[in-house]
Amino acid sequence: MMEFTHFNEDGHAKMVDVSEKKDTVRMAIAKAVVQMLPETLQLIKTGGIKKGDVLGVAQVAGIMGAKQTAGMIPMCHPLMLTSVNITFKLDEIKSQIVIHCQVKTTGKTGVEMEAISGASVAALTIYDMSKAVDRWIKITDIALLEKSGGKSGHVIREGETKN
């Protein structure tokens, strides 16, 4: 039977003890997709959103979100991130923005949650800055695409690409 690592012997929540693990280089890539009206995508692309530079603000917000993950998710370990990179692909055919967040560190635990948080916060920021012109913006496909480091090594989600 599988042992649950986030519960103590009394059945209460605990943060997993990673003190005996070896430091390794850790990397994770996550994505989020923001679906919108074609007119909204054009306004973002041309700088026509009244709140300002949507992608510039979303990029900084995504980095901040990755850095603040341990403060938002109770059982996440606070990590010293060595790199956070947010990228955007504007897909005019599907009228969407695909966000990728890559996070790196050297440590005892992975950065999957930080990558997912970074992509999610960037998506939420796009929504917030654009909702006045498109109230039905939809955030979808939040997912871990790839991770490396630690016991499980390098793993890539089947059927997904970073492009």
Q: Catalytic amino acids? A: 128
3-state DSSP call for residue 57? helix
Question: At 57, phi and psi to the nearest 5?
Answer: -70, -40
E-assigned strand segments in 14-134: 24-35, 83-91, 96-107
Report the alpha-carbon distance of residue 131 to residue 121 in Å, rounded.
15
